[in-house]
Chains A and B, each alone.
Chain A
Amino acid sequence: DQQVKQNSPSLSVQEGRISILNCDYTNSMFDYFLWYKKYPAEGPTFLISISSIKDKNEDGRFTVFLNKSAKHLSLHIVPSQPGDSAVYFCAASHLYNQGGKLIFGQGTELSVKP
């Protein structure tokens, strides 16, 4: 039972354009969402998060949008740079879950071409 889904395994974008990565979830108890970036042979690196009380969070070139009614979030990267090429994981949890368990999507591989 996959509670967090990233339906696009890969995305290719031209440098300078916008990258939009999507994530859907099924559990309405989730109230905290995160995006992680992962380079080959490295661990996931925290990128940005959003609480369910917000619908948008911005950090530099990265913005996360949350649509609770649609159970959908997206990560926007503007402008995209070649160094952004990596696998992006969406993750979710709920505040009162024991132990801080994160449920991850299967990842989207972003390729930013010069």
Chain B
Amino acid sequence: DTAVSQTPKYLVTQMGNDKSIKCEQNLGHDTMYWYKQDSKKFLKIMFSYNNKELIINETVPNRFSPKSPDKAHLNLHINSLELGDSAVYFCASSQQGGSNQPQHFGDGTRLSIL
């Protein structure tokens, strides 16, 4: 009965590689998000999608490309991985972005760049 699920949970890869992280929510929510938690533990929003449409793109490098095939899925593809991309990436969803509805988070994907 997992609400927001991300795969993989851990991802270790070489600099310069391309990788994807998948996210799915079964809550029937309209809005999905990607957050990055850096080494200083700050959680910062990267992207927000509402019903498959991009709403927020927070000055994230072009190497990061989100894709939403339907409103229950928001995947994150990262090209040419760099050392600074090492972080924990969290997917989240909410009933409707911009309204006072709490966001529900997945358990995170721990990305380590060697």
Contacts and interface: CB of A to CB of B under 8 A. Distances in A.
Interface residues of A, number: 24
Nearest to B30: A100
Contacts of B98: 95-100
Contacts, number: 68
A83 to B, nearest CB: 18
A99 B107 contact: no
A44 B43 contact: yes
Given A95-B98, A95-B99, A100-B99, A106 B108 contact: no
A109 to B, nearest CB: 9
Interface of A: 32, 34, 36, 41-46, 49, 51, 87, 89, 95-102, 104, 106-107
Task: Give me the 8 closest cross-chain CB pairs, A-B, nearest first.
Answer: A100-B97, A43-B105, A99-B55, A99-B48, A99-B56, A46-B102, A104-B43, A99-B97
Interface of B: 4, 31, 33, 40-45, 48, 50, 55-56, 58, 90, 92, 94, 96-108
